[in-house]
Amino acid sequence: MNEINAAQRLQLASVYKGEAEKILQVKKAEAEAEAKYLGGVGVARQRQAITDGLRENILNFSHKVEGTSSKEVMDLIMVTQYFDTIKDLGNSSSNTAVFIPHGPGHVRDISDQIRNGVMEATSAKANANFI
């Protein structure tokens, strides 16, 4: 009789242990989902802050330096960011090599590629709204 009771208790303990493991896995998945959501919110806020800062810089520069257009200011900011990126890559402590085409023509090519990408995205959005 004692063996039957012991077996029943072990079986019940196994069920409880399985349920506990299930709850832990569900809570872990929920925590990961929440962390990813909050990470996305953080990235969205960061991008919004960058956009707001760029807009403010473009407006300030355009008003303070007469004869400059928003496009020229944006090109200048893009080139500055390009050089900042190169500097950050150079200051990186990792032992990897990054080969970046560098020269006046290459900077213009990168600027053109970004501008073309923006224009294509705008065109695609307009076509999607038209259909």
Number of H helices, E strands in the chain: 3, 0
The pair of structure tokens assigned to 87 is 């500097």
CB 98 within 8 A of CB 114: no
Q: How far apart are CA 79 and CA 44, in angstroms?
A: 24
The reported pLDDT for the residue numbered 117 is 78
The one-character DSSP state at 67 is T
CA 103 to each of CA 75, 100, 106: distance values in angstroms, whole numbers, following the listed order: 15, 10, 5
What is the number of structural domains in the chain? 2
At which residue do the structure tokens 């349920």 appear? Answer: 19
- For residues 13 and 63, state if they share a domain: yes
For 39-79, the pLDDT digits (tens) are 999 999 999 998 899 889 888 888 888 888 877 888 788 77
Distance of CA 127 to the CA centre of its chain: 26
Model pTM score? 0.50
pLDDT at 80 over 70: yes
pLDDT at 95 over 60: no
The reported pLDDT for the residue numbered 33 is 96
- For residues 81 and 30, state if they share a domain: no
- For residues 56 and 77, state if they share a domain: no
For 4-53, the pLDDT digits (tens) are 888 899 999 999 999 999 999 999 999 999 999 999 999 999 999 988 99
- For residues 113 and 61, state if they share a domain: no
Confidence of residue 88 (pLDDT cuts 50, 70, 90): confident
- For residues 85 and 44, state if they share a domain: no
Confidence of residue 93 (pLDDT cuts 50, 70, 90): low
